[in-house]
Amino acid sequence: MPKKLGIIATDGEMKKAIEKLYPYETQTGKFIIEILDQEQIDEQGKYLEAKGASVIIGRSGTYDRNIENVSVPLLRLRVTAADIFNALIKASKIKGKIKVIIWEGVFFDRLWLEMISGEVEIYTFKNGEDIENVYIEAISTDSDCVVVGGGVICSLARGDGISSVFINASDESIIEIINHAEEVLGYLNNAQYQHELLSKMLNNVQDAVIVIDENDKVQLFNERAQNILKVGSARIMNKKLSNILPDFSFLKDNLINEIEEKEKLIRIRSLVLNYSTSLIWKDNKIKGMLLIFQDTTRLQRLEQKIRRELNKKGLVARYNFKDIIYADESMDIVIKRAKMIGKRDSSVVIYGESGTGKELMAQSIHNISDRNQAPFVAINCAALSESLLESELFGYEEGAFTGARKGGKPGLFELAHGGTIFLDEINSISLGLQSKLLRVVEEKEVMRLGSDYLIPLNVRIICAANEDLKAMLQKKTFRGDLFYRLSSFEIIIPPLRERQSDIEPLFIFFLKTFQLDEKIKWPGEKDIEKLMSHDWLGNVRELKNVAERYILFNEINLLKSKDNQSDKIYNDTIDLKEIHNLIDDRIIAQLMKSGLSKNEIAKKLGISRATLWNKNKKNV
């Protein structure tokens, strides 16, 4: 919006002169002109400012009376020697001694008086408060005189019935001051643009920014700082930072001691801030300090969002309690207990044999909790070596060890911030790693390998074990302090052989999951009896494999051995790849029989024609 110029004209004659010199500006409202009102003189500057004037022009006493009352630039329309001389010529034609009352800053060479007939006395005032006293002094010795001065002087003279001559501003004087005023307006427009540009930039950056001057007074406090610290700018601007936010008193100390800091961590209330400070210099003197900081919690959430989008499979819990198929009363009790525990935010240990569905239970607990919109990160502790597990859990900095990824890598605890981390087979980790895990659990902070700073965490821990941790305590293979930190609640999932009521519904569920057509032969009574009498050392996972084989061969194919140990080994070495290949061959054969072309079959299966040929040469 264009800025306006406000002018307090001493009389109607001056107003007309301005309107004649600047017709476009006065008609369009770019110039706002008000005639001096002696009774309201102290308020006229405020009035013009309220009407939108960004710069105001006033003469002599008008200037002095308004300078303290306005917040915009006020320019003085100076009286020139030529203006005074013209007024003296007019005054010399009036009977009486001439008394000239002007501001002391006006230069007037007394040699001009030699060209004026009659006696002339010159009086000067320093500011608006002196005007009336100087006027009284001038007329006290001779009230039968002619007073020459500005609008305020002439107004006083008229009130006392004394002749007066107003010192009119010449066109040159008016043009000169208005040119100066337009230069100031241009500067203000540019300054406003620069200020708005800087404000936009600072309010749109992701960093919080605070600037204090050498007296600890806040000069800049951007929107990000307001949002993080929950403090409005109106409350803190131009006030001492250490008074409003005592937690930031270190900034004043750094300013006094001329200390600059880079990438430091500080805890303020419930926040952990990463900050840097820089001294502000002007003319080889320190004039203030710049503070830039980020809320590390927000940065972690941003990092999690990015990584969650890149790897949703690993960071999202896909299963809920409704996905757990069961009919047995013992499982009903377990599920009800797990739902109650899930509503709380405490750590949990889930016990169960391999294949009982411990991760399914952990995901369900996560999804019923208040953390369900945050990441769910799972890791099998038994699947990795100790050194690799440590780097995966805690992360590492660049160069922490040979082969460390450039730029470092956040650990799973960092990725799980705000959500849940599931540590499967927690019983397999060494005592040394247990000690490091304990520090993370107790302090709720993690330090990457090769780093020297701590990262705050807000993570729920769910563990799973296929061995009794209490028994491990007795054998001193599991730390007691870690056990009690992790075992706020315990959930025990019974093995499948102890909940026979679940075998048939689970088997039917898997058959429907694997079913490709309606020609499947559903199991009879003898088949179900076979299932019910089996030991199920592989639990639900083994039952799922049996269902997949049943789809292929239409018979219950249970793999038994002489003893439990050999049965377990055999079950662990089932060649699932071979089973999947057999299923692929059967699907291709059925599609060939349906009359579909090779291209249609390949398209339907989402494979190339060459792959189709390799999978089933006899049908191509």
Rounded-to-integer distance, Cα 274 and Cα 390, Å: 25
Q: Are residues 331 and 479 in the same domain?
A: yes
Rounded-to-integer distance, Cα 588 and Cα 156, Å: 112
- The yes-or-no verdict on residue 297 having pLDDT over 70 is no
Q: Once rounded to an integer, what is the mean pLDDT over residues 216-241?
A: 87
Q: Is residue 277 part of a domain?
A: yes
Q: Is residue 97 part of a domain?
A: yes
Q: 258-284, pLDDT tens digit by residue? A: 899 888 888 887 788 888 898 988 888
Q: Are residues 324 and 442 in the same domain?
A: yes
Tokens read off for 598: 């090779």
Q: Are residues 318 and 276 in the same domain?
A: no
Structural domain span for residue 142: 81-168
- For residue 496, name the pLDDT band (cuts at 50, 70, 90): very high
Mind giving me the DSSP string for 407-447?
T-EE-HHHHTTTSEEEEETGGGS-HHHHHHHHHHHHHSEE-
**Which strands make up the sheet holding 376-380, listed edge to edge?**
376-380, 420-424, 460-465, 348-351, 489-492
Q: Where are the alpha helices (DSSP H) in 29-129?
A: 41-50, 60-66, 81-92
Q: Are residues 370 and 478 in the same domain?
A: yes
Q: 55-64, pLDDT tens digit by residue? A: 888 876 677 6
Q: 391-449, pLDDT tens digit by residue? A: 889 888 876 666 566 767 888 998 888 899 999 999 999 999 999 999 999 988 888 88
- Helix, strand, coil % over all residues of the chain, rounded to 5: 50, 20, 30
Q: What is the model's pLDDT at position 301?
A: 63
Q: Are residues 60 and 129 in the same domain?
A: no
Q: Is residue 488 part of a domain?
A: yes
Q: Are residues 57 and 107 in the same domain?
A: no
Q: Once rounded to an integer, what is the mean pLDDT over residues 445-473?
A: 88
Q: Is residue 344 part of a domain?
A: yes
Q: Kindly calculate the radius of gyration of the chain based on its CA atoms and give it in whole angstroms.
A: 45
Task: Choose between 612 and 389: higher pLDDT.
Answer: 389
Rounded-to-integer distance, Cα 534 and Cα 506, Å: 14
> 518-530 as b/e, with b when 16 or more CB fall inside 10 Å?
eeeeebeeebeee
Q: Is residue 163 part of a domain?
A: yes
Q: 62-111, pLDDT tens digit by residue? A: 776 777 788 888 888 877 788 888 888 889 888 888 998 888 877 777 77
Q: 339-375, pLDDT tens digit by residue? A: 999 999 999 999 999 899 999 999 999 999 999 888 8
- The yes-or-no verdict on residue 196 having pLDDT over 80 is no
8 A C-beta contact, residue 411 and residue 448: yes
Q: Are residues 350 and 483 in the same domain?
A: yes
CATH number at residue 17: 3.40.50.2300
The total number of structural domains in the chain stands at 4
Burial degree of 111 (CB within 10 A; 0-12, 13-18, 19+): exposed
- The yes-or-no verdict on residue 257 having pLDDT over 80 is yes
Last residue of a domain, one of 295, 319, 336: 295
8 A C-beta contact, residue 496 and residue 356: yes
What are the two backbone dihedrals, phi and then psi, of residue 294, each rounded to the nearest 5 degrees? -130, 150
Q: Are residues 446 and 465 in the same domain?
A: yes
Q: Are residues 327 and 396 in the same domain?
A: yes
